[in-house]
Amino acid sequence: MTDLEALYRAVLEHPDDDTPRLIYADALEDSGNAGRASFIRAHVAADRVPPYDSVAIRFRLHDLPALGDWPLETLPELPAGLNWVEQPFRRGFPAAVEAGDGAAFVAHWRELFAIAPVQELHLDAIPLPNLAGLVECPGLSRIAKFVLREGAIGITAERLLASPHLMRLDDLYVGSQMSTDGTDVAVVRSPAFARLRAFGCRNVRWPEPLFREINRLDHPPRLVKLNLAGNSIGFHLRMDEPDYDDHCFLFERIYDRIGEGLRELCLDENDLGDEGLELLASIRMPSLRSLSLRQTRADWNGLARLSHGGFIPNLVSLDLSGNYLGRRGADLLVEMEPFENLRILNLSGNGLDVDDAFRVGGSEFTVNLALLDLRDNGLSPEGIAELRERFGDRVLA
């Protein structure tokens, strides 16, 4: 075994530790592979900070393109039934795999962990005949992030998330296609849920059971990231149904239970509207740094209401894409008091023209931005060229 191979073995044996990765990068550089070494170092540095940090922004926009990314064709071959996800690199090494129904992971997990420091597992579906083998699989002890892309029925979620091997799990995402009315309740009641730092679910048709179940927990998780995109959350009262709880108040109650340290909140593709943004602004979220409101049926009036939120001055990243704010939204942004901490603003898909883009890009509101996303606004090539000439690479258009 060469020194380089021994150092790589240390990366495999200590996947949570950055030190072996950086030592391996030094050895790569000494052996003449400076490009791969820089790739690992840049990945590690970006992973140590939130995605809205200036280091992470520079990594995505400048460092990674300059490095050319690491060629996907150089990825190691995996055992049958296992595949790398589309973007598999985590902290400089390929670490995220997909395993279909889970059978291939159960059969080949030892081989897999001898190939790469895998910590992220994506599954499409888990047939009941496969469930017991997956629950009892010792390989789950390496998994920190679980993605159930098509969701799961309640009994599957209940048994899987009770696995004694999932002690390292701190990030869970549950999709929609196979999820049933009992899935969200089973997830929240599971032993794994209390240990999570990041959670996401999609297409909970009526979010009240999810919210109420979280509110009942004796030991709720202390989440840093919460992704509730595409969950039929409408922040409005249904006066024709007296027993129907307003989603906003339900969300506010669960926020009191799980949100003290919440730094990233995604509410994309929910029917919030202007009233929803006003109610959202009323919730006290002192730790919030990143808020995503893509396609939430908000217009310039909703933006005006949101701007009064107590958490707004602390935001570092704000995504308002796909809301068609138009010229009145641009006017409002130009007139608003600057968000002094804001570094990322996404206004893609908002019906802005070149004049709007120039006014927003040159306003005091955006003076501290590291990234202003103006893509998908139908800007002409000439207008885009002018924007890049004036604002440089801090503007995406």
Q: What is the pTM of this model?
A: 0.90
Kindly list the structural domains of the chain, giving each domain's residue range(s) and its CATH number in brackets, ordered by start: 1-74 (no CATH), 317-397 (3.80.10.10)
Confidence class for position 71, pLDDT limits 50, 70, 90: low
Q: Write the pLDDT tens digit of every residue in 92-101.
A: 999 999 999 9
User: Do residues 371 and 61 touch, judged by C-beta distance below 8 A?
Assistant: yes
Q: Is 208 helix (H, G, I), strand (E, B) or coil?
A: helix
Q: For residues 46 and 361, which has the higher predicted lDDT (pLDDT)?
A: 46
Residue 52: which of 308, 377, 288, 277 has the closest Cα? 288
pLDDT at 239: 36
Q: Enumerate the β-bridge partners of residue 292.
A: 266, 319
User: Do residues 137 and 160 touch, judged by C-beta distance below 8 A?
Assistant: no
Alpha-helical regions (H) of the chain: 3-13, 18-30, 34-47, 54-58, 64-67, 103-115, 128-135, 154-160, 183-189, 208-216, 247-258, 273-281, 300-306, 326-335, 354-361, 381-391
Question: CB-side exposure of 22: number of CA atoms within 13 Å?
Answer: 8
Q: What average pLDDT does this structure show over 38-53?
A: 89
| Angle (nearest 5°) at CA 293 between 291 and 297 | 160
Residue 59: which of 37, 74, 73, 44 has the closest Cα? 44
How far apart are alpha carbons 279 and 282 in whole angstroms? 5
Question: CB-side exposure of 226: number of CA atoms within 13 Å?
Answer: 25
Question: Residue 65 carries which side chain, given as an amino acid letter?
Answer: P
Which residue has 């979620």 as its token pair? 157
Write b or e for each residue in 345-376: b if 16 or more Cβ atoms lie within 10 A of its Cβ, otherwise e: bbbbbbbbebebbbbbbeeebbeebbbbbbee
User: Do residues 52 and 317 touch, judged by C-beta distance below 8 A?
Assistant: yes
Q: Enumerate the β-bridge partners of residue 174.
A: 148, 201
Alpha-helical regions (H) of 116-229: 128-135, 154-160, 183-189, 208-216
Q: What average pLDDT does this structure show over 31-58?
A: 88
- How much of the chain, in percent, has pLDDT values that exceed 70? 92
- How much of the chain, in percent, has pLDDT values that exceed 90? 47
pLDDT at 9: 96
Q: Is 97 helix (H, G, I), strand (E, B) or coil?
A: strand
Tell whether the model's pLDDT for residue 33 goes beyond 60: yes
Confidence class for position 241, pLDDT limits 50, 70, 90: very low
- 93: tokens are 């090494």
pLDDT at 235: 55
Confidence class for position 139, pLDDT limits 50, 70, 90: very high
Q: For residues 254 and 263, which has the higher predicted lDDT (pLDDT)?
A: 263
How far apart are alpha carbons 236 and 103 in whole angstroms? 44
